[in-house]
Amino acid sequence: MAFHKRFAFLKATALVLALVLLALGFTSCGKSKGAVSAKVGEIAETKASFTKNEYHFSQLKNLVFVASSGLIELYFDSVNYSVAVRDTNNDKFWYALPEIEELSENCDCAVLSVRVSKDNKIYYLNSQDNSVAFGSASFRPTSSGIQITYNMALDRETAQAGFAENSGELYISVSVSVSLSDGSLGVKLNCGDIMLSDGYVLESIELLNYFGAYENSGKDDYIFVPDRSGAVIKTGSEADDEYGVRNYRVYGKDISMGSLNNLDENGSVEFARALVPAFGIKSGDNAFTGIILSGDTVSTISSHRYTQKGTYNRVGPSFRITDVTYSGDETKKTKYIGERYTGELNISYRFLSGKSAGYIGFSSACREILIREGVLPSTQVEAQAHIPFAVAVQAACAKNSTHSYKILSDYEQTLDMLEVMKAKSINNITLRYCGALDGANSQDLISKAGTIGALGNKRDFSQLKQYVLTQKFDMYLDMSIVSLNKRSLFSENIAENMAGEAISYNSENGFSKISGKESLKAYAVALSDVEKNVLKFLNGSKDYQFDAFCINDAGNILYSDYSDEAHNRSNAVNIITPQVQMLSNNHKLMVSGGYFYILKDADYVSDLAEKTDYPETEAYVQVPFVEAVLHGIMDYSLEPVNLSEDPEKAFMKAVEYGAIPSYKWYCTKTGEESADSVYYYENALDKAVEKYLLADEALGSLRDAKITDHREIRDGVYSTEYNNSTVIYFNYNDSDETVNSVKVGAKSFIRVG
């Protein structure tokens, strides 16, 4: 007996020691594979010296014709080595550098700018002061445009001498190709061809950030920015908004470089999350939109508002070429250098006029281009008489101990709920079954996550599935494919940042009142393991087969990984998207969050943001850009109505944006009144059915239609128009409104046509 006790003690001690060693491995400092680290002191910055105004501005007299396509012409500025586009439809010029008649003001406008580092020094160079002014820029004609090469250095002698290996002097050569095709402007930069002196790191590039820049705004002029579903900055507004620059990170923050949080230390929004890599400017009856076709995974779009003479209203992209982070205090830092992006930067510009000159026109151009490029599917939503009732049902939530759950909606209860809904004349239901896999709302690794046994046996599941099939409903199994919970941590490969630390992120727990957990921590899966994990799940889920899947994480996060071989975010997309395609084979697919890189194989997008990340003001207004791109291609819904601070407004906003109103419920009354009042379906079903019937009456025959117009008619009154001449008017005000002889009741909407 004593031997067995002693053996058990030693075994337990060994297990604890192993776990401690593994934990130390995850938190150890240093560097990961594919990354270089170095101790650096206080960071010193060197910026380009301003040369002459003539290199930073365009003048009509300096333009030389290059090429034409459709209704647009391309010109080259022979003095500042930039380009301009003329829309011949109304003789509108769009300049890569601001156009002025008199060279009287100073502004460091540039075609491109770079940030280069070496040791503890950071250098900022630009095409105008560090190349054009030194006489080291060159150009050559191409079949449909022009290629401009900027040889940049800190001094004229080095810039003109050309590339010299191991010279020790900073020299960088970047070539930009500009061409016309099918009435569009294409701007390309091959990062693999960039020449840079040994020992220096190219951290980032800004490209055409001044394209279309302007000072004087008309009343209806604005900048379009990709803040979540989209927003416009009304540059002609008299509102005195206290901001100049705002940033929009395409596909959100790379969580290998910090927390998922987008707030700064003062609680203000540091950046907005962009679902789609698009931007634009409307100026009078003319507009352009830019869509990043390559380099989107490493891009940030920045908007600038005119604040004083010498600044401009403008919007454009920058690109993180090399993964670089600095950690530590001001005088003692560690610099980590990771993977370099060697692919192409490719931006397509479309030029619009008249009624098309606006964000709905932008969305139409964006949809056409992204379908052509294979980013979005070319399929169309099947026309049906009714929109679906969209409901996410929470099967279980995790409690504090391992694999301990509160069962909220088992198979039998979920079937009962569907039958009740059917009895209330809901004949089309899209069910997203959440928290059904091991770990529930804090899921185990997908390869090891079976369905939670306490939800019922095979017979219970078969009855639920058979009812869904018989009624021609859809039932999506919710799952995480690139994240896992802490319980799986010590037995799996976890993605690591450049310091060799496990990549993790926190999310708010909507069921904290039930489980006692305020937030949920998830770890990013090593990218090299994603494929085998998905394959193992598909091969091991034969007993409880779902006909549709919902991916709940990859549409919200995208990260670099240095746990095995180095993978930047561009590589990550090439790893994740084939697995998404595999999950969609013979299955319908839903994606939560809506990052466009993952939508090619989707049938439904859920949880599109109800609000912008930056707060709305009189001059900063949310618009349904993403929704206008997607409508008719696939179904989509905003965040659940019942989780909104203002459910009535959220319901109307969903209908205004052509979205299917959605709800998130569970089927067990828990006794936690604050949770039950939000999630318990019996408390909310009758009102939700009433709302659904209103939405169905407005949108029922429009699922396959395109949104052709959306506008604010006056304060609190909006309209959405479809390509079958249907218009829906929305009145958010407390009193009735009349629009085009149509009376719209207070806080309601009405369809015409």
Taking the C-alpha atoms of residue 560 and residue 571, their distance in angstroms, rounded to an integer, is 8
Beta-carbon contacts of 92 under 8 Å, excluding residues fewer than 6 positions away, are: 86, 286, 351, 353
Average pLDDT score over residue span 128-143: 97
Same domain, 262 and 348: yes
Same domain, 529 and 650: yes
Q: Which one, of 178, 223, 180, lies nearest residue 345 by Cα?
A: 178
SS3 626: helix
Average pLDDT score over residue span 343-353: 97
CA 613 → CA 237, 373, 599, 690, distances in Å? 21, 28, 21, 31
pLDDT (0 to 100) of residue 688? 97
Taking the C-alpha atoms of residue 337 and residue 37, their distance in angstroms, rounded to an integer, is 6
Same domain, 396 and 263: no
CB 123 within 8 A of CB 117: yes
Same domain, 402 and 486: yes
Q: Which one, of 355, 341, 347, lies nearest residue 298 by Cα?
A: 341
Boundary (domain end) residue, out of 372, 401, 435: 372
Same domain, 686 and 709: no
Same domain, 362 and 496: no
pLDDT at 11 over 50: no
275 lies in some domain: yes
620 lies in some domain: no
For 191, list phi and psi in degrees, rounded to 5.
Answer: -65, -25
CA 13 → CA 346, 488, 490, distances in Å? 57, 20, 16
Average pLDDT score over residue span 303-332: 90
Same domain, 593 and 734: no
Same domain, 61 and 71: yes
Boundary (domain end) residue, out of 689, 704, 719: 704
Average pLDDT score over residue span 562-570: 93
Helices and strands: H and E segment counts in the chain: 12, 45
pLDDT (0 to 100) of residue 693? 96
613 lies in some domain: no
Taking the CA atoms of the chain, what radius of gyration do you get in angstroms? 28
* CATH at residue 426: 3.20.20.80
| Overall number of domains in the chain | 4
Same domain, 315 and 426: no
SS3 110: coil
Same domain, 572 and 645: yes
Beta-carbon contacts of 416 under 8 Å, excluding residues fewer than 6 positions away, are: 667
Boundary (domain end) residue, out of 319, 342, 372: 372
Taking the C-alpha atoms of residue 537 and residue 547, their distance in angstroms, rounded to an integer, is 14
pLDDT at 141 over 60: yes
Taking the C-alpha atoms of residue 51 and residue 108, their distance in angstroms, rounded to an integer, is 9
pLDDT (0 to 100) of residue 266? 80
Strand-strand pairing, 635-638 and 620-622: unpaired
44-59 pLDDT per residue, tens: 999 999 999 999 999 9
CB 624 within 8 A of CB 658: yes
Taking the C-alpha atoms of residue 94 and residue 185, their distance in angstroms, rounded to an integer, is 11
Which residues are registered as beta bridge partners of 520?
Answer: 507
Beta-carbon contacts of 200 under 8 Å, excluding residues fewer than 6 positions away, are: 116, 117, 118, 123, 170, 172
**Burial zone of 465 (CB within 10 Å; 0-12 exposed, 13-18 middle, 19+ buried):** middle
CA 59 → CA 75, 141, 210, distances in Å? 12, 21, 15
Confidence of residue 30 (pLDDT cuts 50, 70, 90): low
pLDDT (0 to 100) of residue 330? 80
CA 483 → CA 70, 441, 442, 527, 606, distances in Å? 47, 12, 9, 10, 19
518 DSSP assignment = S
Position 237, amino acid:
S
Average pLDDT score over residue span 525-544: 90
pLDDT (0 to 100) of residue 13? 39
Confidence of residue 522 (pLDDT cuts 50, 70, 90): very high
**Burial zone of 641 (CB within 10 Å; 0-12 exposed, 13-18 middle, 19+ buried):** buried
Same domain, 238 and 304: yes
Taking the C-alpha atoms of residue 701 and residue 487, their distance in angstroms, rounded to an integer, is 47
584-631 pLDDT per residue, tens: 999 999 999 999 999 999 999 999 999 999 999 999 999 999 999 999
250 lies in some domain: yes
541 is in which domain, residue-wise? Answer: 389-601+634-704
381 lies in some domain: no
- Altogether, the residues listed in the chain come to a count of 753
Confidence of residue 10 (pLDDT cuts 50, 70, 90): very low
Mean pLDDT, the chain, integer: 91
Residue written as tokens 């058979």? 466
336 lies in some domain: yes
Strand-strand pairing, 231-233 and 620-622: antiparallel
Same domain, 684 and 645: yes
Taking the C-alpha atoms of residue 44 and residue 392, their distance in angstroms, rounded to an integer, is 52
pLDDT (0 to 100) of residue 540? 84
* CATH at residue 284: 2.70.98
Q: Which one, of 150, 153, 157, 200, lies nearest residue 176 by Cα?
A: 150
Taking the C-alpha atoms of residue 179 and residue 83, their distance in angstroms, rounded to an integer, is 10
Share of the chain above pLDDT 90, in %: 81
63 lies in some domain: yes
154-211 pLDDT per residue, tens: 999 999 988 765 578 999 999 999 999 999 999 999 999 999 999 999 999 999 999 9
302 lies in some domain: yes
